[in-house]
Structures are given as C-alpha cells and as structure tokens.
Structure 1
C-alpha cells in the first residue's frame, strides 16, 4: 500500500515540524517507549519563489484562524522498520503558522496505531479543541478507534490544558467495538461531540437512551473537567445531515468560513506554503471506499489575499506534488483510469496561475500507459510521479511506469522515465519522454 511505501519519507519530513515533549499515552496504548522518534531538520514552508513540495500520507484539516494567527493540525505516519514500531504509527501535531507576524511553533500532542485515524478541530476564543481517534492495539486487530481523545490546546503555548475527562471510551474489552467522532462544535460554553459507537461509552455520565449514535456534551469544556453527558440514539444525533456536513467541508472559502469550526476528515495533503505574498494549501477530500478523492488547491484569506478554491479534479490518493516558479504553479497527481476492481494510474498535470487561481494549460496534460481488455483479460498499468522540478524554463517530471507511454513516442526503455516539458508555463507542446 502507498501508506506503507511512503510512510518513512512522510515521517522524516513531518517529524521535523515537531517540537516539545510528547504527551505519553497509557501503558495499554503503547507498551514501549521505542515508538518515539527523534525530530529531524524542520520543513520550510515560508518558501522562496521557486520550490517543490510533495504530499504527505496522513490526515489534516484546513488551517483555522484563531484571533489573529493561523493554526494547522495534521497527522503524519511513521513507517515500520529497524528501530521503529512494528506497526504503522501516526503522530498528531498542531502548528502555528508564520503568517501575519505570528511566530511559528509546533507541538506533538500524541501518537497512535494508524489506519485512517479520524481528526477533527474546532475553536472558541483563544482555545483550540482537537478530537483524535486512538487505538490500543495494532490495526490488524482493531479496525476502528477504541476511543476519541479530546485535546484542549492553548493558542498561545500549544500546551494541552485538559488532562482529565477528556476521552470518549467504550467500556467493552479491547477488540470489541470502537467509537468515532463525526462532528464537534461549541454551543455556548459547552463542547458537543457527535459520532458513532458500537458499545456503551464508559468515560462519561451514565448513558441516556440507546443506539449506535451518540451526542456527548461537555459542560463548560474550557473551564471545567466534569465528565460529559452521553445521549445515545438510533439515528445520527447531529442536526447537520450527511449532505450538509459535506457542504460545510466543500463550501467556497471566505473569511467567515475560516472563522467557523472545521471538522472535516482528509487524507493526504501538502502543508500550507507561500507563493509571493499569499498562502496556499493543497488537499484531498475523500468520498467513500475505493472511490477517487476530490483534489483542491486553496488560497487562504491572509495578508490582503482573497480566499479562493480551485477544484483540480480527482486523485487516486497515491501522491500529488506542486512546483512553483515565478508565481506559477505546476501541479502533478495520479488519477485512476481503470475499473474499481483493477485500478490503473495515469499522471495528470496542470498549470495554475497563483494570482488568478485559473488553469493555464489546456493540452498535453496527461501521461498514461495502455490499459484495457485483451484475450488474456484486463491489462492495467501505472504512471507514477516521483519528482517534479523546474530546470530554468523546463518542467522535469521523473517517475516510474509499467509500459511505454501512449501520448508521445518515448526513447529508451525501462520502468523509469523522465518527461521534459520545454516551455511548460508558456506552451501546450508535448513533452519529450526518456525511459531507462
């Protein structure tokens, strides 16, 4: 799987963004301290005009504005390997971005065994609240989080403020069921969490009602550590229907929207980056299992720049990349061109003007290999980017493929390729492709 293949690279870059101590979980969550990795050099996002970034395997929510500063919450994966845990581990980090005179800072909040762990965020005043699903056993044994832990984080220090009654945990033995959170919001001074469970929540007041859905209300969450009241139901407890939640997540961006709670779960992202004087973030929004994810690039409403969202299309969730040159963005990602039972990946490219947030390239935007039916059955194939760079006026794409590309006549042979677009930002001319 892509998560396992890329996890180490993600962790090496992602962990470099972290500082401060790790808030350890209980012994039943992690039996040894070997799961903690040493930080490495930080990833620079306040970039120069020319740079290249690659997507992370993990989860993130869109940056949120709290008072005058911007914050970004995400997970990144630590892959199994020598000296590392034998199972995929995800780290939860919250960062303050270097925007508008605010000082960059990051804090690791916790870590957990990972298989698409949920992540949600909301805020009130100077305080940030995150919900994060925790697993107490490797994912092959526990397919859903055993509990949802809530983090009350000070926007000033990024320190955890709530150390008790901050978890929604089932009372059943390990391995029997789980609990997830689908929406969280402040109602007055109370934090309200909606979600799904497969047992009885034992970490709050005795449940009222019955059913697989719940509404947990933490009275005076920011100033009190009293346990939550739990209302169980046979139907979703949130007043927002599933379609409304998707609309909340996908709505057009504006300063008002960015002041509102964000609880959207996402898979893969490129952390916020600066082009000229504006800030951008590139992310996916998943739909349902095995379906392509919507891919977006957003401009944040900061430092005089207007909020804007561009829907790029659909991604196969393998990886996507951005290279910037003189205020222009070259974007690359993989798209699924095969049937659901036999995926085939093609490389999709586009040129976006960062100022206008409009596509500029209309032809020669895809590289693929032949797929389809043959006398021996379905033949699939992949073209997967590994590197995207500007070399002067040229855009150079390097990657792997399973057969000769079909859009142009390539030279050489082999499963690796280099595609060179001589004037990518000013011409729709096809690339030269060299295989090796």
Structure 2
C-alpha cells in the first residue's frame, strides 16, 4: 500500500497544474492524510507518540493549512505579505506529497522486515538503554548548569528577548553562538540519558532552565526537551490515545501563547485582527512556512539547484568554526549555506522567514534528492528506533535526538539534528572509553 501511495504522489506531482487549484490541493491533502493514517495503523503497537506521529502532523500543518484554509481569504496573511509566486502553490504542495510518500516507504520497509526477536513495546515494561552510568549524572548536571550560566553572563537571554520582541532580528555571534550550540546538545543529551534514571534534581534543573528560556520567548529547546519527556511517559505508562491528545492540545496552547506574546508589532504584516482568522492564528508559525516552499520551488524552476551548497550550513556545524573557514576559502556567505537565510535575503527582510524541509532538500538536490533523502530519513528513523528497543546505545541516541527535533525539522533544514547526533555520539563514546580505561 505504501508503494501505491508513493506512485500516486509521483503521478499527482507530474500532473499538478502550474496555477492555484483548491480542488487539487484538497486531493493532495486527502492523499497524504490517508498515507499518514496507514503508517500509524501499522505502527501504533510500538508507540502512539513518536518521531513518525510528530513529524507527520508537523509536515501536514506546515504544508496544507495555507492553501486550503487561508489563501483564498487572506493571500497576504502574515509573512505572505512578502512577494511569492502564487502559480506554484499547487505544484510545490504536490512535491511535499512525493517527499512524504518516499519517507513512508523507507519507514515501513523496516517495519515489514521483522527480526527474529519481535518486540511489542506497548505490551511490555520498557526501560531505556543505559547511555552512561548513573555515577556520571552529576557531571552532566554541572556541565549543563555551567554552560547555562555562561550563556546568561554572555547576554544570551537578553539577545533572545530582543530578537523575539522584534527589537533585533540578528543572530548571536562569535563565542556566544558556539556556547549556545554546545549547551543545546548537552541539554538534549542529558535529557536522553536521564530518561532511564529519572533523577529528580536533573529534571528540576532542566525545568528551571526551560522556564527561563520560555520567559524570554525561546521555544525551540524547551519543546525539544518536553517532546523527549512526554515520549518517555507515553512509552512507559502506555497512555491511551485520548489522554495523549489531551496533553498535546494543552502543550500546544501553552507554546502558542508564548509565541503570540513574543511577536513584536512590526512582525505583523497582515493587518488582520486575531478574530478574523480565529484559531488559525495559533498555527501561524506553521502556516508561514508554506511561503518558503513556494519561493524555493519557484527559484529552482528559474535558476536551478545549488548542488548541495544551500544545505552545507548544518552539515558544517558538526565541525566547530568550519563554516567560516569554508566561506573564507570559497568566497561564500552565510546565506549561501542555509536555505532559511536565503529566503530572508531574497525578500530583503529584517525578520527571519525560515524555510521548509522539502524546499530545503529540493533547493540543494532537486527532485531526485527529495526522493532519496526522504526515503533515507524514514529508513533511519525506523531502524534507529528498532535498535533502541533492542538496547543499542547508538540507535537510542539517534532516534531520541531525531524525535526531539521532529517538530522543528519540518520548519527547518533536513540536517537540523545532525550536529546534535554526532556530538552526542562522540560525548557518550568518550565516557565509554574513560570507563574502560579505569577498569584496566
């Protein structure tokens, strides 16, 4: 069935009109919803909440709300006030269906190839694998606290407050930016480690830090941490689907309120009151990503792909300061290496306009890149989760970090979690090497 959905999505893409069609977008939406439900029905015995459910929901939100519910009423809603080619809406939306159906094929390929040891996690008492020994928890706690203090002293919280209030859209620079990247990785890895031990002091420290970040309008890291903890609760306590949905709605309301409070007056480009769009305003962060998909698709049709250059930013982030070195050697700018910076540059905007995961891949590698990389994503997600269920440390790290960024991947780069995965694997490996040497 997944291959049928894939073939259907490819056919729908090639026959998609180069003009806006509500009816065609509706067909695309129905197709992707059925595809998502098919995956969920095959996977719900393993987990109800996981990477797949979060990723699928996020991708649908960032792709279909605007063409189905907003465009015909308010085509210049919010960031859509910046120019975009309305003729590519249907075609670029159809491309998302191709990406998702390829992801589904890769994901279900792993589910279909059942190992001899078949695990039904939701019918057993699950324990997360040991990433580091419990005696190392205080070390991680001190590292997280120290890095957070450095971020605060260096003006990180003030920077976030200005940025999200609209006073300053510029990014953190120099050492502060590097420390923040390290801090993010340590927080996410620390949370992954503590899912096994449930150390109260550690969770209390993380809760305090996340509260302070939310207070200045930063939601990305807090949502990553909450996603991991919520996943652990659902997996261990086997909550019903109704109860999970209740918690999800509550969390969504809280984070949406934070998002609405942090918007500055100059960021509202639509001139539309909250009452005019009602509940859709709470999905604004998702809705505006559709524009990036249209702009990127239109750019590729006119000027071609970047042959991977526009995706280099997150790949080079794995090696500290390598991005600046590459830019200096080859005469590139920061905008050239990141699709979200490119969309902002094209619009000559002071506000960061962001990107769309499918557009990010399409800009860098074209249609064949979308087909291959999204198939690979589905395969890696399902494979790493299987290894986690079998007690493998590397599989656990890869899956949990991918899960922590599942919501933001769709609004960002395909390689969004790469740095955190590589750094976390290195850190855990170093602790393992130290442990072995001490035993000798």
Q: Normalising to structure 1: TM-score of the pair?
A: 0.23
* Structure 1 or 2: more helix by fraction: 2
More strand by share: 1
- The structure with the largest alpha-carbon Rg is 1
Larger RCO of the pair (alpha carbons < 8 Å, separation 6+): 2
